[in-house]
Amino acid sequence: MMEILFNPIGALGALIYELLRSFLPDWAATGLLALIGSAVLVGVISVVVMLLVWLERKIIARMQDRYGPNRVGPFGLLQSVADAVKLLSKEDVIPARVDRPLFIISPILVLAASLMVWGVIPWSPGVVPADINVGVLFLLAMGSMPVIGVIMAGWGSNNKYAMLGGMRSAAQLISYEIPGVLAALVPVMLAGTMSLTGIVNAQANGWWFIFSPWGFIAFMLFVISGIAETNRTPFDLIEAESELAAGFHTEYSGMRFALFFLAEYANVFAVSAIGAVLFLGGWNGPLPFLPTFGPGIVWFMGKVFLMVFVFIWIRSTLPRLRYDQLMNFAWKRMLPLALLNVGLTAIWISIATGNLRV
């Protein structure tokens, strides 16, 4: 009974597994369960991402003294559904002289990579799609996947705007990857594990990693490079509307465009989730004595949406950086700071564990 309360999804999974096991061999049951699990995960993420699109439009509209979507469904909640239906029903245009394989694969690759991140994110105790012991490594690897799709789209579109966008993305995402990785290293060092569950458990005492000075710096660096990696204002040079029309997805329309669009929001959601896990204590409540509250998913989602809100807020406020300023900022400001921060963390850990005697 208690298990249902604290670990509902795990219990449900066990139940389904027992059910399948009753008429299937062990390997088939395991495979089928994994398949069901990923289908459910992709479904849930897609719905949340659609909600996110609505949320962003609504919040930005409010910040801009407008109403935002309010026609389809209550509070315009079904606006994203209507948009998706519209985009699905549009003609699938593939311009004549594009590089067809690249053009077709790239949106799929971008979206797939941003969904893959969710494979290792722990939602609440026990609810982890795949609890692998190098979770952080996997996240970082998946985080740099979309850039390949973006470059493919930019190159394959046979369009100068798209190509400029793609080239910018290559430079930008690689530059911001490095401070991002160094920032993510800090929680790994503090927790002493690369497992995301382990990192969350290390923050269970209420001492989230953001509360230490190095953790705070790392969090800030992480958020900045997170914005850069999700291509959002002030780092949205890749699609920079006022310069490059639509950047790398200039030639895309209909559902292929929608995949890029969804991928952007899935990325925002994913980066927020990673930030919440690494720095904000994941499913832990804000105070140590508070329970991980039914399913800790409430705390977790609360933190994720708080970060999403900050992302949206930044987008509606800031102008865009220029290409050279962006690179200068990454290499001359963020990288040294991130390195220094990792060094500080290492020294502190050595002192705390008594390995370093001054």
Partner 1 sequence: MSDSPVLDTTRRRDATPANGIHTNGARNGSAQNGADHDEFGIDGPVRHGVAQTGTDGLSIERVGDGKLGSALLSVPGLEAVRSAENDNELTLNMGPQHPSTHGVFRLIMQLDGETVVGVTPVMGYLHRSTEKLGEARTYVQGVTLTDRMDYLSPMTTNWAYALTVERLAGLEVPERAEYIRVIVSELSRLSSHLVAVGTFGADVGTWFTPLVYCFREREEILDLFMLCAGVRMNPSYIRPGGVARDLSEDFIDRATNFVDRMQKNIDEYESLLTKNEIFLARTKGVGLLPPELAKQYSVTGPILRASGISYDIRRAEPYGIYDRFDWEVPIRYGGDAFDRYMVRIEEMRQCVQILQQALRDIPEGEIRGRMPKILRPPKADAYARIEGPKGEIGFYLISDGSTSPYRYKVRAPSFINLTVLSQLTIGHKVADAVVILGSFDIVMGEVDR
Q: Does 74 bind partner 1 (CB under 8 A)?
A: no
Q: Write down the least CB distance from residue 102 to partner 1, Å.
A: 9
Q: Is 132 within 8 Å of 154 (Cβ atoms)?
A: no
Of the candidate spans 28-36, 95-103, 120-128, 301-309, the one that interacts with partner 1 by CB under 8 A turns out to be: 95-103
Spatial distance between the Cα atoms of 150 and 165, rounded to a whole number of angstroms: 8
**Residue count, binding to partner 1 (CB under 8 A):** 41
Spatial distance between the Cα atoms of 128 and 146, rounded to a whole number of angstroms: 23
Q: Does 154 bind partner 1 (CB under 8 A)?
A: no
Q: Write down the least CB distance from residue 244 to partner 1, Å.
A: 8
Candidate residues 53, 162, 182, 280; the one interacting with partner 1 per rule CB under 8 A: 162
Spatial distance between the Cα atoms of 183 and 210, rounded to a whole number of angstroms: 11
Q: Write down the least CB distance from residue 30 to partner 1, Å.
A: 44
Of the candidate spans 28-36, 57-65, 79-87, 109-117, the one that interacts with partner 1 by CB under 8 A turns out to be: 57-65
Candidate residues 34, 64, 141, 356; the one interacting with partner 1 per rule CB under 8 A: 64
Q: Write down the least CB distance from residue 54 to partner 1, Å.
A: 16
If residue 341 lies in a helix (H) or strand (E), which one and from where to where? helix 335-353
Q: Does 60 bind partner 1 (CB under 8 A)?
A: yes
Of 250 and 284, CB closest to partner 1 = 250
Q: Categorise residue 93: left if φ over 0, alpha if ψ from -120 to 50, beta otherwise.
A: beta
Amino acid letter for position 181: V
| 118: nearest Cα among 218, 203, 211, 38 | 38
Of 232 and 303, CB closest to partner 1 = 232
Q: Does 97 bind partner 1 (CB under 8 A)?
A: yes
| DSSP bridge pairs for 127 | 124
Would you give the binding string for partner 1 spanning residues 209-248, x where CB under 8 A is met?
Answer: ------------------------xx-xx--xxxxxx---
- CA distances for 313 relative to 63, 114, 262, 319, angstroms: 8, 22, 19, 12
Q: Does 166 bind partner 1 (CB under 8 A)?
A: no
Which residue bears the tokens 């100068």?
Answer: 160
Q: Is 106 within 8 Å of 152 (Cβ atoms)?
A: yes
Instruction: Enumerate residues 290-329 that contact partner 1 by CB under 8 A.
Output: 315-325
Q: Is 219 within 8 Å of 209 (Cβ atoms)?
A: yes
- Cβ of 276: how many Cβ atoms within 10 Å? 25
| Residues in touch with partner 1 (CB under 8 A) | 60, 63-66, 95-99, 156, 158-164, 233-234, 236-237, 240-245, 250-251, 315-325
